[in-house]
Amino acid sequence: MKRKTNLFYVDGPDSKFITFSNYTESLTGNFLSTDTKLFPDKFLCLKIYNINSNTKPLFIKYLVRYYENKLAALRDYCITSNELDERNILPLSYLLEAILQVCDYNDGQYTMNENKLTGNINFTNFDNYDGYQEEIEDFIVYVGDITEQDYNGTYTDTICSINTNNYYIGKIVNNKTLGDNNNTYTESEFETSLHGWETQDIYFNIYRDVTPIYDVVNTYNFNSYLSKIECEKILNPTEPIEFNIIIPLFSIVNINANYNNMSLSDNNEILLSNISTENGETCGRFNVPLGIWINSCDDEQGESFISLKLDSEMNAYPAWSLLISSQFKPFPYSLDKKISNESQNGIMTAYPTFAETLSKINDVLDKFTILNSQILNLNNKVTSLEHQINEISTVNNISKLDDKILKLTNNVKDEINEFKKQLYGYIDNITWSNKYKNNN
């Protein structure tokens, strides 16, 4: 079964951050591995002019036509050739080459060329491209570290924080050659359509008429013109930090100490081509692009940059971070499985993250469910009492009570009247004698 080229949304909230197939491929291949873990560890900030509401959709489509199409084609080729794609594919190199190829360089500025985004660019002239010297500067304006937080195995946060106390910029080393051992892949089945897709099966209308972009005619190169990124530390920064693109990177690491001889390091360079030693780093496993975040403006012209300026009075830059959240469902145990989260006991968080907030919201929703059940029980009891009271206080019962009271009243009146008659009889039978007068 052929892989299908990964398709992206070009507008709306889902186009703010797009996830490359690198991440989903790694999750699929390493999900059941006990010792293999995925670590988001670095991120790159780029400053590209002319990314706006017009060029952003074209740029995303261009990444599909070239970058994602190339990855799908080369991965399938590695499978059919019985090769490990992680030892042959260079995801970060391909991505940086793709972005550089559609940018014009002038006076230290990289500007997105709208015409190049819609054309069929080949990389055959990359080594002679005007402005791209052996060291490509001013392209990567910041290289930082990623902080990752996990909550109950359900939510995870990838936080790209700008920290000027550990401020690095990136300088790309350009070999201007692919080398003598460059392998190639020539597309024969999907020459005019996206790899793995039949035109009628593409569910995005905007991709049904697009054509793939190749390094050479119908051919992709495995090797890259780019060698590495040299990270230079800025000790006393004073200039504003401006960027509008962030590329988070992740690495695949075997954490078993008995078998692992590679680890995440703090080297001041990021390799873009595989080194030749037997146990060397492979660019398909280390510093792999997870996705890309694009800060575009709503205007049809111009661009929008995140700008962090030095406060001269405080001698400090403002804090800024990009938070990328993911949610995982441990199906089929997602409803029943309860995991106690005590990770916060020893960790002082700088600020509440989105994943933590979602975790707390789940706790609140559970409480609401309990309260709702209790309120329902109380409501049933009140309804039962009302029913009993209504059964007691019927019209028939009240009428009987009125009759009893009326009879009692009449009986009392009759008794009083009879008592009066007897009393009057006694009074009438009394004979008065005026002894006092007779004696006188």
pLDDT tens track for 317-362 = 988 999 887 766 555 445 554 444 444 443 444 445 666 667 777 7
b/e code 158-168 from CB counts within 10 Å (16+ = b)? bbbbbebeebb
Q: Which of 145-149, 347-351, 376-380, 409-413 has the lowest mean pLDDT?
A: 347-351
Q: Which of 12-16, 120-124, 294-298, 410-414 has the lowest mean pLDDT?
A: 120-124
Reduced to 3 states (helix: H, G, I; strand: E, B; else coil), residue 83 is coil
| Percentage of the chain modeled with pLDDT above 90 | 29
pLDDT band at 195 (very low <50, low <70, confident <90, very high): very high
Show the DSSP H helices in 21-156 as ranges.
21-30, 55-63, 69-80, 91-101, 114-118
pLDDT band at 279 (very low <50, low <70, confident <90, very high): very low
pLDDT at residue 280 tops 80: no
Higher pLDDT, 420 or 380: 380
The arithmetic mean of pLDDT across residues 89-118, rounded, is 91
The arithmetic mean of pLDDT across residues 397-407, rounded, is 77
The arithmetic mean of pLDDT across residues 101-129, rounded, is 79
pLDDT at residue 431 tops 60: no
- Signed CA dihedral, 225, 231, 234, 235: sign only: negative
Type of residue at 166: N
Q: Are 228 and 287 in contact (CB under 8 A)?
A: no
pLDDT at residue 380 tops 70: yes
The arithmetic mean of pLDDT across residues 118-128, rounded, is 66
Higher pLDDT, 418 or 121: 418
